[in-house]
Amino acid sequence: MIRLGVVKVALFGSSGLLGDAVSRALAKRHHKSLLYSKQSTFGGAQALCLSNQEELTRKLLDSWPDAIINCAAISSPDTVNKDLSFSRTINIEGAVKLAEIASHLSARFLHVSTDMVFDGTASPYRSTDIPNPLNEYGRQKLEAEKKVLAVTEENLAILRITLLNGNSPHGKRSPHEKILRSIQDGTSLTLFDDEIRQPCSSENVASAVVELLERPNLNGLFHWAGSEEISRYELGIQILDYFGFSRNRIKKGSMEGYHARDSRPQHLGFELAPLVGKLTTNPLSVKEQIEELLLPEDLFRWHRQNADKPNVYVHKF
């Protein structure tokens, strides 16, 4: 059982966009974290592949955490498609193993899932709506949810989240980091103005995750997102404005005629009840999320020399 006060947490995926924010949120609340990632040692993480179930079990039985948080995943649909079998090992079997170990240790288990379990035809989605994933990533994440819930429904929360904004440790993972790097590389970037999302920020989700950790009475499957919907194109435009690039750096496209349309949900929005009424963390507007964004450090000089209005973006450190 979770004790009040400081909690010893084993955090998987701590070098990722969300995991890093969760790691910082845990530190702010003075919880003790044991950090794990696949290969990155960012923030003092131990490298441990979720496919290595023997070592995983040994490490967790040795350290006996009060809680396990799983932010590790093969989280890009394209990467999942490149190796379906290995992705299943991580996204499904790894998640289930963590749930089993947590159950064995009587540790609280928090697992992160995605809006991509839905097909995008009946937004906004409640957590009780029937999923229908369109791509293998969504199918794997859904199967993981079901299997984790089959291990235990006690002392467990699964949080489905939406497109994540934020600052990733390696500066390459989130929408603004990808947009800035595509401008730097001179790669033409088209975003769809009819692909609608309800983005959230990694910092804000991390705050919700830490609240879920500290509230063992909140168990089950929940939805979390930002407070507003926006098209991927419009999000891109707001990012360009914020970092001082002119709007013509991104081309406006449409999902009509897009060759992989059948595997990409068009409209994903979430109903945030009942969680939104129970947490003190509030969902953020798109503007609030964008104001949290930072230039990756290695892009400072390039930005100063290449932004259309370099003085618009004020570095906040």
Ligand X SMILES: NC(=O)c1ccc[n+]([C@@H]2O[C@H](COP(=O)([O-])OP(=O)(O)OC[C@H]3O[C@@H](n4cnc5c(N)ncnc54)[C@H](OP(=O)(O)O)[C@@H]3O)[C@@H](O)[C@H]2O)c1
Point out which residues bind ligand X (CB under 6 A).
13-19, 37-40, 49-51, 71-75, 90, 112, 114, 141, 161-164, 168, 173
Q: Which CB atom, from 189 or from 244, has the smaller least distance to ligand X?
A: 189
Torsion of the alpha carbons at 64, 65, 67 and 73, rounded to the nearest 10: -90
- Minimum CB distance to ligand X, residue 17 (Å): 4
- Minimum CB distance to ligand X, residue 92 (Å): 12
Q: Provide the angle, in degrees to the nearest 10, between the axes of the packed helices 175-185 and 232-243.
A: 70
Q: Provide the angle, in degrees to the nearest 10, between the axes of the packed helices 53-63 and 95-105.
A: 30
| 205 close to 159: Cβ distance less than 8 angstroms | yes
Q: Indicate the residue whose CB is closest to ligand X.
A: 16
Residue 108 gets the label, from left (phi > 0), alpha (psi -120 to 50) or beta, of: beta
Long-range contacts of 51-54 (CB under 8 A, 24+ apart): 51/86, 51/89, 51/90, 51/93, 51/94, 53/93, 53/94, 53/97
Q: Which CB atom, from 171 or from 237, has the smaller least distance to ligand X?
A: 171
- Minimum CB distance to ligand X, residue 50 (Å): 4
Q: Which CB atom, from 209 or from 255, has the smaller least distance to ligand X?
A: 209
Q: Which CB atom, from 12 or from 243, has the smaller least distance to ligand X?
A: 12
Q: Which CB atom, from 49 or from 218, has the smaller least distance to ligand X?
A: 49
- Minimum CB distance to ligand X, residue 235 (Å): 12
- Minimum CB distance to ligand X, residue 274 (Å): 20
